[in-house]
Chain A
């Protein structure tokens, strides 16, 4: 079954890069990796997604290993507003079921 594994929590100093790892060793060859975040009491917010190549947008960068078994979300200059739970998400192959897992609670410290 599709599954993601992330650290339960991480701290990051304000202004520094936050590197959030995710293991998705069971991912199928044509499935994307998605990252969302959830700020307290709000619905999750889309950040970025990727298949094989590294991706960058205005919010973050996504580094995917060559074997696609893991990835890292990078917030280049974390701010206090980036404090949230970050979810790495994959789809169970052959379904529309996206597996969120328990996520990483990132705390950005002043």
Chain B
């Protein structure tokens, strides 16, 4: 595709359920980032992938959050036993650079609502 694609665009889930959020980066982009943005707030770093490995997972807020990336392409962010405080827009970005946020492209995000 022409840009970073995220799915679903919206997700409403019941508290305690697990959810999977998907990110399709731009083809050939080795770096991939996950961020989340709560209502009216700035972006909060979650995890960084270089290829299939995640050298920085420091932003994952709890062990309920995990992410993987396969084939150096698609990434999935999984939230287990969702809580209401998990409600936010989850954004994915990819870039050619192995380091740096130079010309990273963001997707439109997945809006997660936990009820």
Instruction: Judge: A and B partners, yes or no.
Output: yes
Q: Show the binding face of A for B, using Cβ within 8 Å.
A: 32, 34, 36, 41-46, 49, 87, 89, 91, 95-103
Residue contact B107 to A43, C-beta cutoff 8 Å: yes
Residue contact B101 to A97, C-beta cutoff 8 Å: no
- Provide a sorted-by-A list of 19 A–B residue pairs whose CB atoms are within 8 angstroms: A32-B100, A34-B101, A41-B108, A42-B108, A43-B4, A43-B91, A43-B107, A43-B109, A44-B91, A46-B103, A46-B104, A87-B42, A91-B100, A95-B58, A96-B48, A96-B55, A100-B43, A100-B45, A101-B42
Q: Say yes or no: is B62 at the interface (Cβ < 8 Å to chain A).
A: no
- Say yes or no: A44-B56 contact (C-beta < 8 A), given A89-B101, A96-B48, A100-B42: no
- Chain B, interface size category, equals 20 to 34
Chain B residue at minimum C-beta to C-beta distance from A49: B102
Residue contact B106 to A43, C-beta cutoff 8 Å: yes
Q: Say yes or no: is B59 at the interface (Cβ < 8 Å to chain A).
A: yes
- Say yes or no: A44-B108 contact (C-beta < 8 A), given A96-B48, A96-B56: no
Q: Say yes or no: is B41 at the interface (Cβ < 8 Å to chain A).
A: yes
Give chain B nearest CB distance to A60 CB in angstroms. Answer: 14
Residue contact B43 to A96, C-beta cutoff 8 Å: no
In the complex, which residues of chain B have a beta carbon less than 8 angstroms from the beta carbon of A45?
Answer: 106
The winner among A41, A49, A97 for most chain B CB atoms within 10 A is: A97
- Say yes or no: A97-B59 contact (C-beta < 8 A), given A43-B4, A103-B42: yes
**Separation of A43 and B23 alpha carbons in the complex (Å):** 13
| A-B pairs with lowest CB-CB distance, top 5 | A43-B106, A96-B48, A96-B56, A100-B43, A100-B42
Q: Say yes or no: is B93 at the interface (Cβ < 8 Å to chain A).
A: yes
In the complex, which residues of chain B have a beta carbon less than 8 angstroms from the beta carbon of A41?
Answer: 108
